[in-house]
C-alpha cells in the first residue's frame, strides 16, 4: 500500500468531518472521494464509503433526536442522542483517520462491514 493511499484513506475521514462541521453534507465529500478512488484503490474506496455511510447514520440519528425533542417527554433523551451523535461524529472520523494513515482497515461498528463488502475485500 502506497503512502498516497494511506493519505487519501485518512483524508476520506477528515475532509467529510470538516465539511460536516460547516454543513450537514459531509457525506457528499466522502462519496466524491469514493467515486474518484473506487477503481484505483480498494483501501481508499473502503474508507470513503464507510465514512459516507457513517455520516448518513449519524445524520439520521440526529434527526431522530429532533423528533424526540419536539415531544416534551423526549427532551432529555433528545439531548442525550445529540451528545452521542456529536461525540461519534467528531471522535469516530479522527480515530478512523489515524488508523487509515497507518494503513489500517479499521471498521466503524455496523456500517464498516457493509462498506467492506461493497468494495469487495
Task: Look at residue 73 in the predicted model and tell me its pLDDT.
Answer: 64
The Cβ-side half-sphere exposure at 116, using a 13 Å CA radius, reads 11
Q: Which three cell numbers stand for residue 42?
A: 480498494
Q: What is the pTM of this model?
A: 0.84
For the chain, the 3-state helix, strand and coil shares in percent, each to the nearest 5, are 85, 0, 15
Positive or negative CA dihedral for 9, 58, 24, 117? positive
Grid look-up 445524520 returns 59
CA pair distance 1, 33, nearest whole angstrom: 17
Per-residue pLDDT of the chain (121 residues; tens, 9 = 90+): 899 999 999 999 998 888 877 777 788 888 999 999 999 999 999 999 999 999 888 888 888 877 777 776 677 777 887 888 888 888 999 999 999 999 998 888 888 888 888 888 7
The SS3 assignment for 64 reads helix
Amino acid at each position: 500500500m502506497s503512502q498516497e493511499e494511506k493519505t487519501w484513506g485518512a483524508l476520506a475521514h477528515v475532509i467529510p468531518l470538516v465539511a460536516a462541521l460547516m454543513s450537514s453534507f459531509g457525506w457528499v465529500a466522502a462519496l466524491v472521494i469514493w467515486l474518484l478512488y473506487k477503481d484505483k484503490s480498494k483501501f481508499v474506496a473502503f474508507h470513503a464509503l464507510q465514512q459516507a455511510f457513517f455520516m448518513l447514520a449519524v445524520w439520521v440519528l440526529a434527526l431522530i433526536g429532533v423528533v424526540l425533542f419536539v415531544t416534551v417527554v423526549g427532551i432529555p433523551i433528545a439531548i442525550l442522542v445529540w451528545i452521542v451523535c456529536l461525540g461519534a461524529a467528531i471522535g469516530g472520523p479522527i480515530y478512523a483517520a489515524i488508523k487509515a494513515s497507518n494503513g489500517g482497515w479499521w471498521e466503524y461498528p455496523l456500517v464498516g462491514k457493509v462498506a467492506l463488502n461493497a468494495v469487495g475485500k
